[in-house]
Amino acid sequence: MCGIIGYIGNKDSTSILIEGLKKLEYRGYDSAGICVKTKEGLKVFKKRGRIFELEKLDELKELKGMIGIAHTRWATHGEPNENNAHPHFDCSKNIAIVHNGIIENYHALKNLLEKEGHQLSSQTDSEIFAHLVEKFYEQNLEKAVIKTLKLVEGSYGLVVMHKKEEKLIVARKGSSLIIGVGEGEMFVASDSAALLEHTKKVVHLQDEEIATITKDKYIIKNIDGEFVNKKIEEIKWTVEQMEKKGFKHFMLKEIFEQPQSITDTIRGRIKDRKIKITVDFRVDSIKRIIITACGTSWHSALIGKYFIEELTQIPVEVDYASEFRYRNPVIGKDDLVIVISQSGETADTLAALRGAKEKQAKTLGIINVVGSTISREVDSGIYLHAGPEIGVASTKAFTSQVVALLIFALYIRQKKGQELDQELLRELEELPQKVKEVLKTDKEVQKIAKEFTAVKNFLYLGRGINFPVALEGALKLKEISYIHAEGYPAAEIKHGPIALIDEQMPVLFVATKNNLSAKIISNMQEVKARKGKIIALVNEDNKEIKELADYLIKVPQIINELSPVINVIPLQLLSYYIADIKGIDMDKPRNLAKSVTVE
């Protein structure tokens, strides 16, 4: 949700900022802008659309200076256009700011500023920051920013610069900002993706911390002006991991990385037929588990519910984080709240976590991004180690989340002194190999995709542990191909969706063998009787399904608990190819963002 980069050093900042923005583009991409401190003062250039549109501006060739900030936007207040793009100036054009987040008391502050004669030139809430800093500025930018922040309600990742000051002031509340520490130069960015090629040394700002950054040092204070000591951490991800490596899109690369990402999630966590993870609280006394998340992570939570209940006999509830945070849930100290988030920054998930902590629940995070806000605030966590996920539509993080949840379920069982199913453990260890096999369906799925690029609707049906797979398949398709798609438990179609079925309606059945196979075949017959086009995902030669299906996708056999990991992969590929044939850049689908740091 909006990407921010800032630079201060001895190098020409324009190219550093533009290259940095490109790395952050997946966070938002409706408009972009840059501000550089030049000999003639602060110069701002902005453009609607992607970074390459901004980069094409001739003026950028002449833009020279060693301090600068830049921003790629995902609009909240005010439509995406040049005027609303960041950076924003104050009235005097001495101050420029970039902001990620939302100012909740925007109207009150706007009225106040307008009464004092400030002229706001955009429809954004963010511009308020520039004018407030102007109002409070008395030869000390840091003090002016602190005064400003005390008035603002809402969330911010904020970077401010002043024409007369050789520094950047950086502040954060609810929207991540990381300082990159170089040799005689400093960076600031929304996430480490933009820093990696310059430095691996980073400092994570926490909420209500303000940093003053010059080219040689950074000083961090809290909002009351007290100094805060922070240690430098090292980014583990490599530049190579952040590149496409010959794949046409990040999404395809990430789909094909799944044998490795799953290996990395499992690594070191199964030893001598036992689960080896560290959790900082007792799990054998947990009475109830609530899992909360958003988007694709919510789907992995639904899958987790199936095997956690089965393996531990602990009741599990799954809730959207956006609902959970506002519904005053009944939670006690024997409850465990699990939050799942690839980015570790999703605003609703973070708020749900904080709500659970207030109610004294134990909390566990299943997170991919090391050092992210959620990962720092949970009582205990399991990192996915899936590597950076750049494609906006989540793929490899999803399969790693399912695996991490299964490992955690097995861990609880072990702690309760119950036997672990050795076949399940063996299959878990062999999972990366089976994922390699299922990726061989690639060509077949690509052929099927060609048949469905013109459809308007799609149904995905599954049952049991594969019902959430149907939901995820449908979500992937609508996110990146803009085809309307619904996921349903197969038996439910007769309570509504069956009315939609005719010869135009493709229906994908996740029909791999389990105790519900016979039932899913009946559901298939119901669809066939109404001339729906059936795509069946199977893992055995089933004569009946063969006769009913128009298209078959065959995947390897695997134990039921792990079948979602295998079954989702052809669904990821199907949406990828449909979107690709339609010419959509599925790494940056319209209106979406990778990291949703606003409500």
Give the whole-angstrom CA distance, residue 360 versus residue 581. 50
> Which CB atom, from 26 or from 307, has the smaller least distance to ligand G6P?
26
Task: Decide if 168 contacts 160 (C-beta within 8 A).
Answer: yes
> Which CB atom, from 451 or from 599, has the smaller least distance to ligand G6P?
599
Cβ-proximal residue to ligand G6P, closest one: 295
Task: Decide if 211 contacts 160 (C-beta within 8 A).
Answer: no
Segment lying near ligand G6P (by CB under 6 A), choices 340-348, 483-491, 495-503, 517-525? 340-348
Please state the closest distance from residue 341 (CB atom) to ligand G6P, in A: 3
Give the whole-angstrom CA distance, residue 342 versus residue 202. 20
- Nearest CA-CA partner of 340 in 384, 392, 275: 384
> Which CB atom, from 124 or from 346, has the smaller least distance to ligand G6P?
346
> Is residue 265 part of the contact set for ligand G6P (CB under 6 A)?
no
> Is residue 596 part of the contact set for ligand G6P (CB under 6 A)?
yes
For residue 557, what are the CA distances in angstroms to 302, 426, 438? Answer: 22, 14, 10
For residue 496, what are the CA distances in angstroms to 214, 323, 463, 488, 489? Answer: 62, 25, 17, 10, 12
Give the whole-angstrom CA distance, residue 508 versus residue 448. 11
In the set 94, 341, 375, 567, which binds ligand G6P (CB under 6 A)?
341
Q: Scanning the structure block, which residue is given the tokens 């007792």?
A: 282
Task: Decide if 343 contacts 336 (C-beta within 8 A).
Answer: no
> Which CB atom, from 341 or from 481, has the smaller least distance to ligand G6P?
341
> Which CB atom, from 94 or from 341, has the smaller least distance to ligand G6P?
341
> Which CB atom, from 440 or from 484, has the smaller least distance to ligand G6P?
484
Give the whole-angstrom CA distance, residue 492 versus residue 162. 60
DSSP state of 548: H
> Is residue 342 part of the contact set for ligand G6P (CB under 6 A)?
yes
In the set 143, 554, 592, 599, which binds ligand G6P (CB under 6 A)?
592
Q: Binding to ligand G6P (CB under 6 A): which residues in 381-440?
A: 392-394
Task: Decide if 174 contacts 100 (C-beta within 8 A).
Answer: no
> Is residue 343 part of the contact set for ligand G6P (CB under 6 A)?
yes
> Which CB atom, from 126 or from 375, has the smaller least distance to ligand G6P?
375
- Nearest CA-CA partner of 466 in 532, 519, 420: 519
Q: Could you give the residue numbers annotated as active site?
A: 2, 594
Please state the closest distance from residue 398 (CB atom) to ligand G6P, in A: 8
Segment lying near ligand G6P (by CB under 6 A), choices 249-257, 264-272, 275-283, 590-598? 590-598
Give the per-residue contact string, 269-308, with ligand G6P (x = CB under 6 A; - = no).
-------------------------xxxx-----------
For residue 563, what are the CA distances in angstroms to 244, 449, 574? Answer: 28, 22, 18
Q: CB 153: neighbour CB atoms within 10 A?
A: 12
In the set 76, 346, 466, 512, which binds ligand G6P (CB under 6 A)?
346
- How deeply is 283 buried, as exposed, middle or buried, from its count of CB atoms within 10 A (0-12, 13-18, 19+)? buried
Please state the closest distance from residue 593 (CB atom) to ligand G6P, in A: 6
In the set 155, 176, 312, 349, which binds ligand G6P (CB under 6 A)?
349
> Which CB atom, from 393 or from 510, has the smaller least distance to ligand G6P?
393
> Which CB atom, from 294 or from 505, has the smaller least distance to ligand G6P?
294
Please give the full DSSP string across 105-119, using - where no structure is assigned.
THHHHHHHHHHTT--
- How deeply is 591 buried, as exposed, middle or buried, from its count of CB atoms within 10 A (0-12, 13-18, 19+)? exposed
Please state the closest distance from residue 598 (CB atom) to ligand G6P, in A: 11
Task: Report strand pairing: 209-213 vs 168-173.
Answer: antiparallel
> Is residue 584 part of the contact set for ligand G6P (CB under 6 A)?
no
> Which CB atom, from 69 or from 294, has the smaller least distance to ligand G6P?
294
The strand pairing partners of 68, in sequence order, are 7, 36
Segment lying near ligand G6P (by CB under 6 A), choices 24-32, 114-122, 343-351, 455-463? 343-351
CA quadruple 188, 192, 197, 202: dihedral, nearest 10:
60
Task: Report strand pairing: 484-489 vs 457-462.
Answer: parallel
The strand pairing partners of 534, in sequence order, are 507
Lookup: tokens for 499: 């009315």
For residue 212, what are the CA distances in angstroms to 6, 78, 216? Answer: 12, 30, 11
Size of the site for ligand G6P (CB under 6 A): 15
Question: Per this entry, what is the length of the chain?
Answer: 599
Task: Give the interface with ligand G6P as residue ranges (CB under 6 A).
Answer: 294-297, 341-343, 346, 349, 392-394, 592, 594, 596
